Structure formats: structure tokens, C-alpha cells
Chain A
């Protein structure tokens, strides 16, 4: 158990060392940069709340990626699914002025989940029925979603004055309220946490979750156990898409209240780093998302005080993913077994991230 927890921390530490070297090479002080990141993320009550706000979409997309990857379905499309969810939420949300608040919220969130589920489900269907690799289809669907969003805010959903490429704000009945305003604390974070628990029990306490993980370990063997791989593939991708789409709907309902281009700064890709640090465990997605949300939030302060571009956060994301992958390789595990003796705990906890299973 220890090593499955220790690995992500070791990866983060190694990433921090490498980043420090890069920063030093750029003539910046690594200590100053990390202090600015931390201060920007947790330096005040509002900074802490904003860290929660920035982490929320990452929990949704992190769960989406974790669920799909657990079934060895390489969903690179959480970003597109989130975008479609946001479009659906905004399209529906502008028409809910006369609805009771609770019902309007439920409708908006359901629309987002449905939109995401369709976008993910299409990739699942293409994989199950047309033998189309979900990696390629989800990448392509990401770009189609980006263009669809651009078209929506320049066309059908553009605000009435047609001066700005944004949609009208959604009805106030469909907006999640802020608590302790001017902080942006809202119920979206709570929903994300509840869903993380739900995903955990789905994955580890239900037969469907067992089938999903069995498919992830070995697709061919899973068929011999009577698992209906095609149907499961569609459902897993639809569920994964629904989680991401819900994230998009929460973002629209609670934070942005309207659509605009580049709504997602790449949450669907950052989610891959989140999911790998969490080792695909839905409960661990929460702290992992908080970590990356904190980095995102702190990066603005880092830019102000240290003059380092916020893109440093992407360098950290990329490095963390690469290091975790390298740590997961059989070569590395073999080496460690030779040094520390064989351990079986990884077999239970480690998802099949290091190997592409048989098609």
C-alpha cells in the first residue's frame, strides 16, 4: 500500500526538482516561485476559496478520465465532452426564467451530463461497433466541440446585441448561488465530492465496476468471463462523458453563467495528470484535483511577483505524467522488486496505465 501512495509523491518531488533546474536556468529563484505559487493558492481566505473553485472542474474531468482509464478506454476527449456539456447547459439554461430554482438547476445539470454523455458515447459506440480507436475519435471530437462552441457563440446562441462572441447569461433561476459573497463558494464543489464517492463505490463495490476493471486489465479474458465488452464500452464512455459534461454545466451554472470561446483552459487534458496522480482512484481524485487547481490558482500570483509565465503549470503537468508513467513501467517495477523484494500491493492498486491492452 505504501508504495502506491509514495509513488505519486515521489513523482511530484522529482518534478519539483526538475522544475527548479529549469527555473534556475531561466535565472529565477525556485524557492521564490514555489512560495509565490503557494501564496497565490492558499495565502488568504479568498485565495483558498478560489483554489476550490478552480479545482472543481478538475474533479469532474479527473473522475471522467479515471473511470474510462480504469476500463482501459483512453478517453483523451474529456475537454470536448465538458465543452458540449457547457453548450447544452447554456442552451437550456437561458430558457428557464420561470422555473423554480431547484428544478432549473436539475434541468441545467442534466442537460450538461446528457450532452457530455452523447459526446463520450459516440466515441464508445465507434469503438464497440466500428472498431475505431477511441483515442483518435475523442481527439477529433475535441476539435469538433471547439468549433461547435465557436459557432454557437458567433451564431445561434450569440447575445442579442451581437457585439460580443458570448451567449446571453443563463436564467438566474438556473444559476448556482455563491455563499459568503464576494467569494465564489458554491455547491458545485460538494456535488463533485459526492460524485467522487459514488464513482468509488461504483468501481469497487458493484459488479458493473468489477466488470469495468476486468475489461481494463484484459479485454480478451473479460470476454471469456461473459462480460459484454461492446455494451460496456459504450456505457463506460457515456458515463465518462457525462461526468465531464456535468463539470461543464457546473462551470456555466455557478461561475461563468454564459458561454464564450475557450471556456475550458484545458481541464480535460489536465485531468489526465490528475487521474494519474490519483492512480485512477476516484477518492484520490479530490486531493489530486486540489493540487492542480492550487497550481492553476497560484500561477497568476507567480506571474505577478516572479515574472514567470503561468504556462509553468503545464510544464509541471507534463513532467508529472511522464515521471509517473516511467515509475509504472515493468522495468522499474522489476528493478524495485529486485531491491525491495516482490510486493503484490501494486497489482491491486495499479491501473493498466503502463500498458496498452490488446485491442
Chain B
């Protein structure tokens, strides 16, 4: 019971954390991308379609990366190069992806409602570690995406806060004019952050289709992209904080499945609303911008 619950928490937290880590990079560079949901959906769709027709999960993952990167590239052209409003662009990108995946899905797989299943990507048990009672199955018996996601937490923390590149990234998010004056190339750095984030978000989508549902349904991401946005805020723009917030929200999601099955008096909607309500409380409590990069969301135009 406990073991199944904890495994479910990790499964729920992984795609959210993966997408949130991508968004963290983007936000550190001074851009807010509320189109994560769209990149996630595109990744989910591309992964399933390619894995289904090629029979290769690996090709599916590559397709998911390509889809996420492509969508973020559209976003980057408008937001970074043309300095267009990031919020409206992000919304449009999400709507576009929701529409495109829906249309292509029906076109490729018909309207029969028949589920198109793929085999889940293989689990890689980590030798003897996976045989430890409780801890083994919960922590050391997952697919590669889970390990990569949680490994990225210390890696991104190190890159952002301890390397020269991280300093440049943060400079672009704090004072883009100053960063540009120092020759750091704000445009290039924001593009890089968005492309890496597109790859991570695409993979987060692939996790949903290739490791969780093993099929695609329209709007399969079901708001997870926006939960990732909350995770960045509740995690206070720190990758360790992001991991903690993802696990908390993953637990809330896992709990509501249990509650829905048990039919308790506590409305399960309370748990579904938790990530969003908690984000509001955290923002209202801490004041909105305290931990966020100063230039977050402001378009930067070179004069």
C-alpha cells in the first residue's frame, strides 16, 4: 500500500519536475513561458506516434525532444527576437499545440476511440539497490527518464549557481541591459535556455505517453504544464526547491486517485486544486517577486 503510493508519487512528480526544471532555466534567463503545456502535449503526441509507427521507444523520445524544441523555437522567435508579449504568445502556443495534436491524432488514428497502446519504456533496476525493501522499488526501479530527471536537480543547481554560464544566465534575467553591455549575448542565452527547456518539456510529455498512459488522448497533459509553472514559484527558483514542490504536488495527485477510489468525505477536488491554491498562498505570503529574477517577463530590445 505505502510502497504503491510512494511509487505513484514519483511517477506523478517526474513529468512535472522535468518540465519545471526546463522552465527554471528559461525564467532565470528572464523569460516566462506559459506555453509549457503546449510543448508537453506536442512531446507526448510525437513520442507516441513515432514509437507506435516505428516500434522504437528511443525514436519516440527523440521525436518528443524535436517537437518540444520546435514549439519553443516558435515561441523564441516571437518573444526573444521580436520582443512580443510573452504571456499572450505562451497562451497562443498552448492553444495551437492543443489544436494541432487533436487534429493530427484524429487524422492518424481515426475517430474510433480505439486505444493505440505502446509498450512502456523499459525499467532499469539498479542492481542490488533495487532489492532493498520499500526503498528499492520506490527509488531504484524506474525507467531512464526518472533517473535523468532527478539527476538534473543537482546538475542544474550546480550549473545555475556555481558556474560562469549560470552567472551569465542569471545576469540576463536580472539586468539584461547590463548583461548585453558586458557582451554576454542576451538573445543567444535566452534562445539556448528555451531550446534546452523545449527538449526537457518534450521529454516530460513523452513520459506521459510512453511511461505512464502508454497511449495518447487529447489534452493528455491535463494542466501539468501549468503545475510545472507553480512548481517553479513554490520551489522559489531553486532546483532543490523545485524537486520538493514536485514531490509535494505529486503526492497530492497520487492521494486524490486513492481518495476517488475510496469515496471518502473529503472531496478529491481539494487535492487536485492544491497545487494551484498553494501557489496563490505562497505568492500572497512571500510577495510576488521576491525570489524571481528581476527582469522576468520583460521583453528585451537592444537599442
| A interface residues (Cβ-Cβ under 8 A, vs B) | 22, 26-27, 74, 76, 126-127, 130-133, 135-137, 139-141, 143-144, 147-148, 150-151, 154-155, 266, 269, 272-273, 276, 307-309, 311-319, 321-322, 325-326, 328-332, 353-356, 358-359
| Contact yes or no, A309 B102, CB < 8 A | yes
Known: A139-B226, A354-B84. A131 touches B92 (CB 8 A): no
Q: Which residues of B contact A356 (CB under 8 A)?
A: 85-87, 297-299
Residue of B nearest to A322 (CB): B92
Highest count of chain A CB atoms <10 Å: which of B32, B275, B276: B276
Instruction: Tell me whether B130 is interfacial, beta carbon within 8 Å.
Output: no
Q: In the bound complex, what is the Cα–Cα distance between A356 and B296 (angstroms)?
A: 10
What sequence of 0s and 1s flags, for each residue 31-53 of chain B, a beta carbon within 8 Å of any chain A beta carbon? 01010000000000000000000
Known: A150-B269, A355-B85, A356-B85. A131 touches B289 (CB 8 A): yes
What sequence of 0s and 1s flags, for each residue 65-107 of chain B, a beta carbon within 8 Å of any chain A beta carbon? 0000000001000100111111111011111111111111111
Residue of A nearest to B285 (CB): A130
| Contact yes or no, B103 A26, CB < 8 A | yes
| 16 A–B contacts, CB within 8 A, in A order | A126-B288, A136-B229, A136-B288, A141-B276, A144-B276, A150-B269, A154-B269, A311-B100, A311-B102, A314-B96, A316-B99, A325-B84, A325-B85, A325-B89, A355-B299, A359-B289
Within the complex, what minimum Cβ distance (angstroms) separates A357 from chain B?
9
Instruction: Tell me whether B267 is interfacial, beta carbon within 8 Å.
Output: yes
Known: A318-B95, A353-B88, A356-B298. A311 touches B284 (CB 8 A): no
Residue of A nearest to B223 (CB): A143
Q: Which residues of A contact B230 (CB under 8 A)?
A: 140
| Contact yes or no, A76 B298, CB < 8 A | no
| Contact yes or no, B288 A132, CB < 8 A | yes
| Contact yes or no, B283 A355, CB < 8 A | no
Within the complex, what minimum Cβ distance (angstroms) separates A304 from chain B?
11
| Contact yes or no, B91 A321, CB < 8 A | yes
Instruction: Tell me whether B279 is interfacial, beta carbon within 8 Å.
Output: yes
Q: Which residues of B contact A321 (CB under 8 A)?
A: 88-89, 91-92, 95
Query: In the complex, which range does the number of interface residues on chain B fall in?
Result: 35 or more
Instruction: Tell me whether B134 is interfacial, beta carbon within 8 Å.
Output: no
Instruction: Tell me whether B187 is interfacial, beta carbon within 8 Å.
Output: no
Q: 9 closest A-B pairs (Cβ-Cβ)?
A: A318-B96, A314-B99, A311-B102, A315-B99, A321-B92, A132-B288, A309-B106, A147-B273, A318-B95
Name the one of A139, A140, A317 contacting B99, with C-beta atoms under 8 angstroms. Answer: A317
What sequence of 0s and 1s flags, for each residue 225-243 of chain B, a beta carbon within 8 Å of any chain A beta carbon? 0100110010000000000
Within the complex, what minimum Cβ distance (angstroms) separates B61 from chain A?
24
Chain B 273-287 interface residues, beta-carbon cutoff 8 Å to A = 273, 275-277, 279-280, 283-284, 287
Q: In the bound complex, what is the Cα–Cα distance between A266 and B289 (angstroms)?
A: 29
Residue of A nearest to B102 (CB): A311
Q: In the bound complex, what is the Cα–Cα distance between A286 and B90 (angstroms)?
A: 25
| Contact yes or no, B91 A76, CB < 8 A | yes
| Contact yes or no, B280 A141, CB < 8 A | yes
Q: Which residues of A contact B284 (CB under 8 A)?
A: 126, 130, 132
Q: Which residues of B contact A266 (CB under 8 A)?
A: 95
Q: In the bound complex, what is the Cα–Cα distance between A74 and B86 (angstroms)?
A: 10
Q: In the bound complex, what is the Cα–Cα distance between A26 and B100 (angstroms)?
A: 11
Q: Which residues of A contact B111 (CB under 8 A)?
A: 307, 309
| Contact yes or no, A151 B88, CB < 8 A | no
Highest count of chain B CB atoms <10 Å: which of A276, A322, A326, A329: A322
Q: Which residues of A contact B101 (CB under 8 A)?
A: 311
| Contact yes or no, B96 A322, CB < 8 A | yes
Within the complex, what minimum Cβ distance (angstroms) separates B106 from chain A?
4
| Contact yes or no, B102 A354, CB < 8 A | no
What sequence of 0s and 1s flags, for each residue 288-303 of chain B, a beta carbon within 8 Å of any chain A beta carbon? 1100000001110100
Known: A130-B284, A133-B288, A269-B95. A326 touches B88 (CB 8 A): no
Residue of B nearest to A72 (CB): B85
| Contact yes or no, B283 A126, CB < 8 A | yes
Highest count of chain A CB atoms <10 Å: which of B87, B101, B233: B87
Instruction: Tell me whether B218 is interfacial, beta carbon within 8 Å.
Output: yes
Q: In the bound complex, what is the Cα–Cα distance between A154 and B106 (angstroms)?
A: 31
